[in-house]
Every structure is written in structure tokens, then in C-alpha cells.
Chains A and B, each alone.
Chain A
């Protein structure tokens, strides 16, 4: 009997991944009307009983009453809550190896490291996190480009919501480095970039002269200045392309500051090399001590999954606990919460982190925004994600209750208008909630019943139209 159960659960897992494949490939976006639900649009007042119309992968309308086209599939959300998909503002989960061993690798892209088969994505889907900003890890100096993905799809391509969103940097020393060397590497990387670009400019200018069969008549500085305008995007070596964009302030960037003392360094570096206006600071739990510097900087921040910082007083040994988001919120900064991944506690859920913030005195509005709209804005996707508004991507959740309530589960999840999650079809949850005898049929069933049959019984009809487009 034990074996039978075992076998079955293993097969179920397989089936689920198959199911995901099916959802992804069914690329035709439907027109769906979610009606009668309580709508929490995040950027506006909640609507007690309202409807959300999803069309062509976007939110067509949100309101108390919405005119729906005749062909819309209507889903009654009576007693349910309609909420935008939550956003994980920064994580290295989902990558097979989070960091390359050389510290300065601005030419890399997480695209090459995303592993769609990781359970992380499935769990994110189940927990309502519909956009995940996958970024290189913190053990780096200047790392590659990041990517916003949705947790559904078989390839990084299919999963992509927005490519090459930002660059990842870290001022906290990489393994084997100390702070001084970390910063020395920063300086050297940008100095080299400058030099190489200058040389390129000079060469371009000379090439131009050569083409026009002219002689060189200006000193090097002038040649460089004149050559600058001649540089075309294709001339820039791949190695420097991203770093150049960064230094020109054209690339969003996430800078990791593990300790308070790293914050001023991060701000200084960002300002010095011209990418400050696009910076988001990823903070360790101790960094709240640098709140003045952060406040002056006024840039959005991503908080550590561990929301409480505990420290013993050097003099008295007394332990002090500080609730970090409160300090950040009081300073008026926009922040995003992270999940404490790997924990067996509630902190592994985004909604729980937000609920905790509310409990510690942060306004509900801010707490909700910190898991939806603010991270979207940080990622430059404020016009696409993070709230229920007309024209935004239809990343929508239907929840069984209030998003900050302990017993709430995600019932339905839509990514770009497609239904990608249905709790009723979530095999793992079905198994979790099933009565002991349910999941295998009545326990009195004869032992000789073939295992495979049991499967078809359970799953028949769940995924009826596996239309594959590809």
C-alpha cells in the first residue's frame, strides 16, 4: 500500500508539470470577465462588488459594473477578492548558478541561467507571485542583466515578462574580497571602460579620415572628441555594451548593500559613475542604520527577507530588535518586500511579510503596494504591472479572501490574460486538502486496482483541451 501511494505522488508531480506546459502553449488569450468579486486595485479604493474584464492579455476595464462582450467567459467571484499579481522585486532563485566566479561580468545575462524546471516557480505561482525579478546573486561586483519573468513556461523565452530589465551590482565584498578591493575593482572597471571607449572613438575618427583619404591633423584628444559621434551601436564591443549603458544612466540597476556602511559607498559609486538616477538599493537587514543616507538618496529599496534586525548593545549586551520596514517607511521611501526563502515559517510568503508590516504599524496601503505596485515601478514596469488598471497586463489573482489574511489561498491566477493557475486543479494542494481516503478513492478499494487507472480517474477532464500551438 505504501508503495502505491508513493508511486502515485511521484506521477502526480509529473502530471503537474505537464499541465503547466499545456497552459503555456495555449497561447490564445481569452476574454474573461471576473464579476461579483471584491476588487482591491491597489492604486485606488477597493470596490466591494465589482468586475474586471480581461481582453487580449490586458485589463480592459475595472469597475462596479462593466459591460462585457457576449463572448466573454464569465467567472463568478462571489465572496472572492480580485487582486493584482504579486511581484517579487529581487531574487536569485530560479537560477541554476547565481554568480559567475569573476567579479566583473557586465556582459552576462540571467537568460542563460534561468532554470524553468525549478520548483521555485511553481511555488511562486501557487503563492500568487506572478512576476519575479530574477537577478544574479549578491556575491558579485558588477554582474549581468536581469529579467522579469512570470512563473509559467517551459523556456526562459516563454517565461519572460520583460527582458534585460536592470543590471546587478554589489558593493558588499564578494567572497574572498575585502571592501577596499571590491571598490578598487569598481573604479578599475569604469576607468577601463572610459579608456576603451576613448580609444574606440579615436579609431573611428581615424577610420573615417582613412575612408575619406584624408590625413590626420588633430591631436588625440580632439580626435577622440570628434570620434565620439561616429560611434554606432554596432561598434561597441559586447563586453562593454551594458556597462556603457549603465554609465550613461540608461540602465536600471540594483545595487546590493549588505551592511549599513555599504550604503554611502553605493550611493557615492552610483553618483560617481552616473547611474544613480536608475538605482534601486537592495538592502541587508542592518542597513536601516544608514537611513539618513538612504533618505537623502530618495531611491527605492528592496528589503531583506528578514524584517527584524536584532543587535546586542556593545556596552550593555542588551538586545535590541528593530522592525526594519517601519524605519524605511517612516523615512518616506518606496520599498519592496522579499520572501525569506527556505524558511518553514510564514515569512516565505509575500503576503505574510506585508501583513506583518501592517501589524507593526505600516499603513495597509503601503504594505499592499510594497508587494505589487512599488516593485513594478522599481522595475520600470509601473505602466504594465502592479495594479488593476485599464491597459495594464492582465496579471490578476482571484483570492479566497483578503490578501493579508492567514487563511487566504490563491484560487485563480491570470498572466497576461491567460488562466495559468486554478487551485481546484493544483494537484499538490488537492492532495494536501484531500481527506485521507479521498485522494486514492475509498480506502476500502481492492488493493489489486491498477495504479494507472486511479490516475486517469482523478485527472480526467482536468486538462481537457491540450491544444498545442507549437
Chain B
């Protein structure tokens, strides 16, 4: 590389303990062993022999696939599965999957091509650790203004390899990167498997879950309630949107059927004008629907949806939107003739509108629904004889996302800390029947039983944090308790994670967090599960990763000692059966 000059030529620090990273220009990275047909055949034969050595009873499924075999033998295996802890176990990886986990036979094995046998007596093996709630490698690149349509993938800096390498070095093979918190819905999280630091983007699963926050920082009770209300309103809107879409689908089916049956829609010349009128009405209608959102400012409903956020409780109409801009541009030419004053349609509505004068605004939803239903019925009656094309509800990007949560297609996470807020959120979860997890939960202790009753999972962030003075003071020391509390209250599942760090750090200290939780009363087994299988479960990845079970992806970590012990280090990390990190030089 030309022009690579160091300013500190005599720096005493040499990065010796870095995982293999590609420095620009040269490739130094382990890859899959690729075998051609003939090799594969011989391989298969060899494998059969080897397995005979390694295992007492080779399973056919193991060598049905091609590829080399890696076996770790003699270690204590913390499986994170029903098998529990296996002393003197053997973990066999093949074709990127875990071929078997069992007690080792202890027989000697001669060196063979294609077999990578690692003798690991006195060492420990776990599944790759998973940081279920992290900001590792996140680089939003601007003031954080997440909206429900945000995706963490978009802000994932795949070139921040040093940060990911640090996590890998500590045994972390999977990270759930969540959008930064800002209150309200802040988009969907992404799951990154640290399979190849040079191709992180290729190992991202998008839309792992939707993330929301309530009552962060030192917000007062009123604004916290407003926040909760906003969340509820958005969910409500999404539910209504879902209903509207369903209704439309139904109508469309009927319509199609009618067309098939030979009915036709009569088109008249006047239709145009009527349509325009309709469109105008539709606009009103939209606003009307907004009213249903219990207290949402009617002005702030749909006009701004293309911005991806719905402005609840905040007046943000000062900003001229693109639509308004274009409309205004066009109005300069077209509408003048009709005596239209430019700008008429931008600001005037605000002046004219008086929310207190509008009796509908504050009224309850059921009534409105009734009214609507009535309207519909009336309408149906009128047009009974004539076939009409159904109107599709206007697209609402926020509801499109939230609708998936309501349909339980995607889990949702609420970051919430204060006990009172937790209860509110539990209610919300119950109302909309969400597949939800409570995150952060630093103030879980008093309401742990409620959480347990609600069968809602908990993800605990940092077990210890810096002390008062900053706006995270409510996190102080409480996580430790909540970890213990969760266990006592038998909240299941419990996940430990690195939490919100803000500066792109995360994952590196997962085991230490877990160790602290153990000192707080969590059992060691539960602590390990909380950073492996339960973490995977909270990200809907438990079918593939998170434990050492036959058939799962071979994300395996070899430790020099117990993972939670202070001086044990990661010796090797395998992802999909490929060794991605090896501690050079041993102890």
C-alpha cells in the first residue's frame, strides 16, 4: 500500500491479539474448505473412519453431508439445551452444522486429513454468545430521529470491523443491533452474525423485531404518559388500518367476483368531477379517521405520514413538506384562474381549525364506529343496484410496520425502566395481544411478578453502570437487582445483554455482565442460557443458533476455563463450523 505512513514509529503497542482482519490489500482470512467431487468422495470414506474413532456409534446423518469435520474433545460442554452440562464431552461440527454433542469415548485418534481434532481437556465449550440488545457497530451519522419505518441495518457500519472483532474476541457470534432510543417506535432491529468480518452485510437478518421506548431519561410523569399514549394511538391506528385493509380485500374479492359474473361498472363523463369531489371528501374522511385515534390532532394525521412519523402531540407543521411544495408550485400555474390564492391550501387550515370547537374530536371511538357503519350501510343501500369499485385505504407506512406486530408476524420490544411504566406496557401488550419483550427493565423488581404473570420475556441491559449525575441515573445498580429479581420471580425467559451504550461499544463485556448477575443470585446455568439460547429466542433465532444441539448452526466457542471465570479467555470461535478467531500463542 502506498502512502501508508505511521506517525508513531516507535509505538510500543503491537496489535498481536487481533482476530484475523483483512488489512487493505492482503487477504488473510480462513474460508470454507471447498472440495471437488472426487475429493469429496474420498473425504466421505475418511470421515466414516474418523467418526468411528471419535464416536462409539456414528450416526448416518453426520456423514451424509460433505465437508471437513471439526471435533472438540474432552472439554466441559455447556450446551444451553436440555442436555445441560456434559463433562468430558465432544462437539462435532460438519458442513457448518453441529453434527453431534455427546460424552467423549476418550479413544485415541490418529491424525487424518480433513479432520480437525481439538483436544480440549479442562476447557469449556459453549454456543456462540449472543448480545440480544446492543448498539454495536451502529453509526446513525446524524441526530437520532428514528421513526417506525427506520431499520437498524441502514445504520449498521459494516466497516467498523474493529468493534465487531472485539466482540468476537470475547466469544460473541451474534448481535442484535437495535435502533437508538428516542422514545416512541424507533424502527426494526437487525441481527448480525459475526461470521465473516469482511462480509458482515452478508450475514444480516433484517426486521428481527420492532423496537419502542417509553419513559427514557428524566422525563416527567406527564410527558411519559403522553409517550405511552402516543404508542397506544399508533397501535390503534395500525389496528384500524389492518381492519380497513381486510375490509378492502373482502370488498375487492366481491368486486372481482361480480365482474366475473358479468357485471360491469358504468363510467360516465361526469365521473371525473365526481371523483374529484370524492377525493376531496376522502381527504376529509382521512382526517375523520384520524379523529378516531383518540385525541390525535386531526391536522397532524396523514399529511405528514410520508415523513415516516405521525406527529402526535407535537406541532411540526412549520416544515413545508415536499407534497405541499409541489402542490404549491403547481397551484401557481393552475389554480390562479379559479381565483385561488397561492399558499391558501398550506397554512389556512390551521387557522380555521379549532379543535375545541370540534365536538367529534374528543368523543369515544365506539360511537364513531357506529356512525361509520351506518354511513356504510346507507351507502351500500343506495348503490346496491350498481357495481362500484372499492376504494383502497391510503397507504400508511407507519401502520404498515406496526400492523405486522399486531398480526404477530414480528415480535416487539419495549424498552422501559420504571415499574409504573412496566405495568402500563404490560397492559398495552395485553390489549393488542403482542408478541412482546420488556427491555432494559432496570426497575423490574417491584413488578417482577406481574411480568412473570404476563409471560413476557425480559432483556436486562448492563448489570452495572456508572453512577449518578447523568440522565441514566435510574439505571444505577438496579439492573443487578432486577437480574436476581427476575430469577426469583421465575420470569422466563431472561436475557442478559450489553444494552444501550451509545458509543458503538457493546458485546465485549457480556460474560462479565453475566458473572455479576451470578453474584446477584442468578444461577450460573441460567446466566449462560441468558446470553445464548434465551438471547437467540428473543431474536427468533433459537431454531438455528443459541445452543449446542444436533442440527443447529455450528456457532461454537472454546474457552480456556469457565466462560464466566475472570481469567478465562476465548481460545477459538467457530461460526458455521468455520474457525473465525483463534487466540494466537495460547496461554
Partner of A209, one of B187, B267, B307, B321: B267
> Which residues in B have their C-beta under 8 angstroms from that of A218?
259
A319 pairs with B7, CB closer than 8 A: yes
> Closest A-chain residue to B22, C-beta based?
A292
A174→B146 CA distance, assembly (Å): 14
> Which residues in A have their C-beta under 8 angstroms from that of B307?
185
> Which residues in B have their C-beta under 8 angstroms from that of A107?
326, 329
Q: How far is the CB of B399 from chain A (nearest CB, A)?
A: 13
A326 pairs with B145, CB closer than 8 A: no
Mask of A314-328 contacts with B, CB within 8 angstroms, 1/0: 111111111100110
A180-B322 in contact given A216-B265, A316-B11 (Cβ < 8 Å): no
Mask of A284-327 contacts with B, CB within 8 angstroms, 1/0: 00001111100000000000000010000111111111110011
Determine whether A431 belongs to the interface, using a CB cutoff of 8 Å to chain B. no
Determine whether B76 belongs to the interface, using a CB cutoff of 8 Å to chain A. no
Within 8 A of B (CB), among A170-213: 172-185, 187-188, 191-192, 195, 206, 209-210
A289 pairs with B267, CB closer than 8 A: no
> Which residues in B have their C-beta under 8 angstroms from that of A157?
none
A209→B271 CA distance, assembly (Å): 12
Determine whether A66 belongs to the interface, using a CB cutoff of 8 Å to chain B. no
Determine whether A333 belongs to the interface, using a CB cutoff of 8 Å to chain B. no
Determine whether B306 belongs to the interface, using a CB cutoff of 8 Å to chain A. yes
B7 pairs with A318, CB closer than 8 A: yes
Q: How far is the CB of B308 from chain A (nearest CB, A)?
A: 5
A94→B442 CA distance, assembly (Å): 55
Within 8 A of B (CB), among A400-456: none
A216-B154 in contact given A181-B146, A314-B162, A322-B3 (Cβ < 8 Å): no
B6 pairs with A220, CB closer than 8 A: no
A313 pairs with B15, CB closer than 8 A: yes
A180-B389 in contact given A104-B322, A259-B157 (Cβ < 8 Å): no
B322 pairs with A181, CB closer than 8 A: no
> Which residues in A have their C-beta under 8 angstroms from that of B187?
180, 184
A322 pairs with B389, CB closer than 8 A: no
Number of interface residues of B (CB under 8 A): 65
Mask of B153-183 contacts with A, CB within 8 angstroms, 1/0: 0111111101100000000000000011000
Q: How far is the CB of B479 from chain A (nearest CB, A)?
A: 27
> Which residues in A have their C-beta under 8 angstroms from that of B150?
178, 180-181, 183-184
Determine whether A233 belongs to the interface, using a CB cutoff of 8 Å to chain B. no
Partner of B6, one of A183, A318, A323: A318
Partner of B259, one of A192, A217, A291: A217
A102 pairs with B321, CB closer than 8 A: yes
Determine whether B126 belongs to the interface, using a CB cutoff of 8 Å to chain A. no
Mask of B3-29 contacts with A, CB within 8 angstroms, 1/0: 111111001011100100000100000
> Which residues in A have their C-beta under 8 angstroms from that of B162?
314-315
Q: How far is the CB of B463 from chain A (nearest CB, A)?
A: 25
Determine whether A361 belongs to the interface, using a CB cutoff of 8 Å to chain B. yes
B24 pairs with A318, CB closer than 8 A: no
Determine whether A219 belongs to the interface, using a CB cutoff of 8 Å to chain B. yes
B5 pairs with A321, CB closer than 8 A: yes
Determine whether B513 belongs to the interface, using a CB cutoff of 8 Å to chain A. no
Of A42-50, A52-60, A260-268, A391-399, the stretch lying at the interface with chain B is A260-268
> Closest A-chain residue to B148, C-beta based?
A184
Within 8 A of A (CB), among B227-279: 252, 255-256, 259, 264-269, 271
A259-B141 in contact given A184-B308, A218-B259, A327-B24 (Cβ < 8 Å): yes
A260 pairs with B159, CB closer than 8 A: yes
User: How many of chain A's residues touch chain B, expressed as a range?
Assistant: 35 or more
A179 pairs with B264, CB closer than 8 A: no
Determine whether A73 belongs to the interface, using a CB cutoff of 8 Å to chain B. no
Determine whether A5 belongs to the interface, using a CB cutoff of 8 Å to chain B. no
> Which residues in B have their C-beta under 8 angstroms from that of A290?
159
> Which residues in B have their C-beta under 8 angstroms from that of A160?
none
> Closest A-chain residue to B160, C-beta based?
A261
Determine whether B144 belongs to the interface, using a CB cutoff of 8 Å to chain A. yes
B266 pairs with A215, CB closer than 8 A: yes
What does DSSP make chain B's interface, helix, strand, loop or mixed? loop
B15 pairs with A178, CB closer than 8 A: no
B147 pairs with A181, CB closer than 8 A: yes
A316 pairs with B155, CB closer than 8 A: no
B256 pairs with A320, CB closer than 8 A: no
A103, A174, A261, A319: residue with the most chain B Cβ atoms closer than 10 Å: A261
> Closest A-chain residue to B322, C-beta based?
A102
A179, A183, A185, A316: residue with the most chain B Cβ atoms closer than 10 Å: A179
Partner of A265, one of B15, B154, B198: B154
> Closest A-chain residue to B390, C-beta based?
A220
Mask of B308-338 contacts with A, CB within 8 angstroms, 1/0: 1000000000001110011001100000000
> Closest B-chain residue to A202, C-beta based?
B389
Determine whether A161 belongs to the interface, using a CB cutoff of 8 Å to chain B. no
Determine whether B452 belongs to the interface, using a CB cutoff of 8 Å to chain A. no
Determine whether A234 belongs to the interface, using a CB cutoff of 8 Å to chain B. no
A182→B150 CA distance, assembly (Å): 9
A306→B89 CA distance, assembly (Å): 57
Q: How far is the CB of B181 from chain A (nearest CB, A)?
A: 12
A318 pairs with B158, CB closer than 8 A: no
Q: How far is the CB of A103 from chain B (nearest CB, A)?
A: 8
Partner of A188, one of B143, B158, B306: B306
Q: How far is the CB of B200 from chain A (nearest CB, A)?
A: 10
> Which residues in A have their C-beta under 8 angstroms from that of B151?
180, 183-184
A261 pairs with B158, CB closer than 8 A: yes
B322 pairs with A173, CB closer than 8 A: no
Within 8 A of B (CB), among A4-58: none
A289-B159 in contact given A175-B142, A219-B256 (Cβ < 8 Å): yes
Determine whether B71 belongs to the interface, using a CB cutoff of 8 Å to chain A. no
A102, A218, A289: residue with the most chain B Cβ atoms closer than 10 Å: A102
Q: How far is the CB of A430 from chain B (nearest CB, A)?
A: 39
A321→B187 CA distance, assembly (Å): 37
A177→B255 CA distance, assembly (Å): 43
A344→B11 CA distance, assembly (Å): 33
Partner of A320, one of B6, B321, B322: B6
B252 pairs with A181, CB closer than 8 A: no
B6 pairs with A178, CB closer than 8 A: no
A173-B142 in contact given A218-B259, A315-B15, A318-B11 (Cβ < 8 Å): yes
A173 pairs with B157, CB closer than 8 A: no
A144→B492 CA distance, assembly (Å): 53
Q: How far is the CB of B385 from chain A (nearest CB, A)?
A: 14
A217-B264 in contact given A313-B15, A315-B13 (Cβ < 8 Å): yes
> Which residues in B have their C-beta under 8 angstroms from that of A319?
5-8
A291 pairs with B159, CB closer than 8 A: no
Determine whether A239 belongs to the interface, using a CB cutoff of 8 Å to chain B. yes
> Which residues in A have their C-beta under 8 angstroms from that of B329?
107
A187→B395 CA distance, assembly (Å): 13
Mask of A231-243 contacts with B, CB within 8 angstroms, 1/0: 0000000110000
Mask of B494-513 contacts with A, CB within 8 angstroms, 1/0: 00000000000000000000
Determine whether A105 belongs to the interface, using a CB cutoff of 8 Å to chain B. yes
A288→B3 CA distance, assembly (Å): 14
A178 pairs with B140, CB closer than 8 A: yes
B149 pairs with A188, CB closer than 8 A: yes
A359→B140 CA distance, assembly (Å): 37
B139 pairs with A323, CB closer than 8 A: no
Please list 13 pairs of residues, one from A and one from B, whose beta carbons are closer than 8 Å in the complex, sorted by A's number.
A174-B142, A176-B145, A181-B150, A182-B154, A184-B149, A188-B149, A216-B267, A238-B330, A239-B326, A258-B141, A261-B159, A319-B8, A360-B2
- A-B residue pairs, 4 tightest by C-beta: A180-B150, A215-B264, A323-B3, A178-B140
By a beta-carbon cutoff of 8 Å, the part of chain A in contact with chain B is 101-105, 107, 172-185, 187-188, 191-192, 195, 206, 209-210, 214-220, 238-239, 258-261, 264-265, 288-292, 308, 313-323, 326-327, 360-361
Taking A105-B325, A318-B11, A319-B7 as given, write out 18 further A-B residue pairs in contact, using a Cβ cutoff of 8 Å, ordered by the A residue number. Answer: A102-B325, A103-B322, A105-B322, A173-B141, A174-B142, A178-B142, A179-B140, A184-B151, A206-B271, A209-B267, A215-B264, A217-B264, A264-B158, A288-B24, A292-B198, A313-B15, A317-B13, A326-B2
